[in-house]
Homo-oligomer: A and B are copies of this chain.
Amino acid sequence: MASVAPEVEKKEEEEQVVNPWEVSAGKGGIDYDKLVDQFGCQRLDAALIDRIARLTGRPPHRFLRRGLFFAHRDLNEILDIYEKGDKFYLYTGRGPSSEALHLGHLVPFMFTKYLQDAFKVPLVIQLTDDEKFLWKNLTVEESKRLARENAKDIIACGFDVERTFIFSDFNFVGGAFYENMVKVARCVTYNKVVGIFGFTPEDHIGKISFPPVQAVPSFPSSFPKHFSGNDQLRCLIPCAIDQDPYFRMTRDVAPRIGYQKPALIESRFFPALQGENTKMSASDPNSAIYVTDSTKDIKTKVNKYAFSGGQDSVELHRKLGANLEVDVSIKYLNFFLEDDDELERIKKAYKEGRMLTGEVKQLLVTVLSEMVERHKRARARVTEEMVDAFMAVRPLPNMFG
């Protein structure tokens, strides 16, 4: 992705802001290197990716091969545990703020599905309907309905019901989960959450109360019968890097309440059609491809809105080639085109002006349409009973079976 030369960065007065509710880049795009340093996480390097491939006996996911999941915290320790034949579990989640998911929403779930398959580990998926009630102008009922609708899209990603517990906060908060929320809350001052999340005194206390809710699925004792009855079971969280503040807080608190720190594997952001410096916005359906879009919608959106790195005229393009750094179609193919060789071939031809933007877009439309149609078919097969089965509160030790 675009990187920012130091001199450009210095000229750029605008600070990039990345937190769970705001991602705003400087003019040169998100500076992921700066983010890693600022957050204090580690870079996911080639050696670590090789180790994952070696341990799981399968090629690394394209999100790993292409640096889309690019940062981590304590991933080495999780791999050490796995190598010794010990156990861990996965935790990811979603704030159910909209009816239909867009492709960016699918990224962490696609990756989590790969991790579950590769490591054969249990997974908890938190739907933060309470968060969306607190931040958006929704009713409790609407938040709960969206959580259940989103659960269907998540299930459609192919998770194993025997190893996956999906829960919504409104349906699940209580008991040991609530005890852990209160334990976390006792360790975090108001000043601290202001520093981490940027809350202001005018914010309602619902916002200030929320971070522990997202923290505690990192602790196995928050769940019925504790995974394998082991309070010290390690947790690995795949997520976009904007969620890092929650887990910085969680990792700070964990040892103080006798728990293990969760490990993290963190992704870059999925760009809007208009480019990396714009935001996918629920109020602008043309900023993103949704899993409910028709092939025709996808074609129109890609052709009309996907920001092009190509030149203004065919002649100039043939001569100068495309700027891949800003081309959204290439970015999307980078996420979703599985074949590395084909991707390289396209990038090379496009960069050298032998392929035109229209041709790249046509390929992208095919890739996205196939993926979206596959998702739609899978979602259509998700019954209410299946949702109930994934969301059933049940003892989790069996999930290692």
Contacts and interface: CB of A to CB of B under 8 A. Distances in A.
A173 interface: yes
Interface in A163-220: 169-175, 178-179, 182-183, 185-194, 199-206, 208-209, 211-212
A7 B169 CA distance: 56
Given A183-B140, A209-B209, A204 B189 contact: yes
A247 interface: no
A203 B185 CA distance: 10
A57 B190 CA distance: 51
Contacts of A110: none
B190 A209 contact: no
B202 A191 contact: yes
A194 B201 contact: yes
A200 B194 CA distance: 13
Given A201-B191, A201-B194, A186 B206 contact: yes
A244 interface: no
Given A186-B134, A204-B186, A205-B211, A140 B179 contact: yes
Interface residues of A, number: 37
A159 interface: no
B182 A204 contact: no
B190 A204 contact: yes
Given A187-B204, A189-B202, A190-B202, A182 B212 contact: no
Contacts of A182: 130, 133-134, 140, 170, 206
Nearest to A257: B140
Nearest to A144: B179
B205 A209 contact: yes
Nearest to A206: B185
A203 B174 contact: no
A188 B171 CA distance: 23
Given A173-B173, A183-B140, A205 B178 contact: no
A185 B173 contact: no
Contact of A190 (B170, B171, B174, B205): B205
A146 to B, nearest CB: 15
Contacts of A171: 175
A246 to B, nearest CB: 13
A190 B210 CA distance: 13
Nearest to A137: B186
30 contacts: A130-B178, A133-B182, A133-B183, A134-B182, A134-B186, A169-B178, A170-B179, A170-B182, A172-B174, A173-B178, A174-B174, A174-B175, A174-B178, A185-B205, A186-B204, A186-B206, A188-B204, A188-B206, A189-B202, A189-B204, A190-B190, A190-B201, A190-B204, A190-B205, A192-B205, A193-B205, A205-B208, A205-B211, A208-B208, A209-B212
Contact of A203 (B190, B194, B204, B211): B190
A256 to B, nearest CB: 12
B189 A201 contact: yes
Contacts of A183: 133, 140
Smallest CB-CB A-B distances: 8 pairs:
A174-B174, A185-B206, A209-B209, A186-B206, A191-B201, A190-B201, A173-B178, A185-B205
Contacts of A188: 204-206
Given A140-B182, A190-B203, 16 more contacts: A133-B183, A134-B182, A134-B185, A169-B178, A170-B178, A170-B179, A170-B182, A173-B173, A182-B206, A189-B202, A189-B203, A189-B205, A190-B200, A190-B208, A205-B209, A205-B211
